[in-house]
Chains A and B, each alone.
Chain A
């Protein structure tokens, strides 16, 4: 191959960025939501009880971090594999950090938010259990969906500039 042909082929094959489409992460979150809904319908007592028990024993936040990190990583690697593109370190680091920040941040805010329920309301334990259930679900959704949403918005911004 001549030098000019090599230069031409290099020009024609630039380093491709892994473009994340929100539809991919949406499908993943939708599947998780469906499983959560089925869990609540099929195990209306035992699933909330196990979540509340883990929350009281301080195991809920680490479990949420592990779960969302695994899902985010699996989704990112799946998209990279499907498009046959090498994963980028910056995006991988972003996906590694954001779920942790989101889960820890929301858990801290939740602790403060429910602290006055025990004082002000009757049947406080049942209320706190339902609040914990809702917090768990929305935290999972936020920790999976928001990092991909942020990456998508940054990618769109970069492609325009």
Chain B
């Protein structure tokens, strides 16, 4: 099996395609910033071992969740579902994305206003909200893929 066949095989697998789509967001939005931090520390000779909890302690994961929600809403908008399903799906994804983004905004405002930021809580909230958006986006992509197959029949 050459490279092209392998890619075609992967493209034909709906769950794999959904996982790849989600992995792209998670890698670029979460994993790459984490490794860039480690690389910067090493380059500058710092012995700081950064943990994702410290890197995203101001709720930045919520912002990644908002981007993912936007991409998922766009995919839903271009689907063949009836307008009701598109509307309810978009609204739910938008709510979860906005709430994920609000964790980052609240943390930023609290820090700016000197009201005292609780990094542990911001990390936990943003992680849970990102988990919500990722799982909702995964189900949405699976549903979209199933419907596209039905329409193609």
A residues in contact (CB < 8 Å) with B: 21-24, 26-27, 29-31, 33-34, 36-37, 40-41, 44, 48, 106, 109-110, 113-114, 117, 123, 126-127, 129-131, 133-135, 137-139, 141-142, 145-146, 149
Interface contact A142-B81, CB-CB below 8 Å = no
Check A141–B131 contact: CB distance below 8 A: no
Q: Are B139 and A30 in contact, CB atoms less than 8 angstroms apart?
A: no
Residues of A close to B82: CB separation below 8 A: 113-114, 117, 131
Chain B residue with minimal CB distance to A36?
B139
* 9 sample A-B contacts, Cβ–Cβ < 8 Å, listed by A number: A26-B132, A30-B131, A31-B135, A33-B132, A36-B139, A40-B146, A113-B82, A113-B83, A127-B147
Summarize A's interface: helix, strand, loop or mixed: helix
Known: A30-B135, A34-B135. A131 touches B95 (CB 8 A): no
Interface size on B, residues (CB 8 A): 31
**Are B150 and A30 closer than 8 Å at their CB atoms?**
no
Q: Which of B31-39, B48-56, B122-130 contacts A (4 or more CB under 8 A)?
A: B122-130
- Please give me the 10 A-B residue pairs with the lowest Cβ-Cβ distance, nearest first: A33-B135, A113-B84, A23-B128, A26-B132, A23-B125, A30-B132, A30-B131, A30-B135, A130-B147, A126-B150
Closest to A110 in B: B84
A22 touching B131, Cβ below 8 Å: no
The reply to whether the CB of B28 lies closer than 8 angstroms to some CB of chain A is no
Flag whether B136 is at the interface (Cβ < 8 A). yes
Kindly state whether residue B26 has any CB partner on chain A within 8 Å. Answer: no
Distance to closest chain B CB from A27 (angstroms): 5
A138 touches B88 (CB 8 A): yes
- Among B132, B150, B151: residue with most chain A CB under 10 A: B132
B153: chain A residues at CB < 8 Å are 123, 126
Chain B residues in 8 Å Cβ range of A21: 125
Contacts of B84 in A (CB 8 A): 109-110, 113-114, 135
* Residues in chain A near residue B150, CB distance under 8 A: 123, 126-127, 129-130
Check B129–A131 contact: CB distance below 8 A.
no
Nearest CB of A to B152, in Å: 10
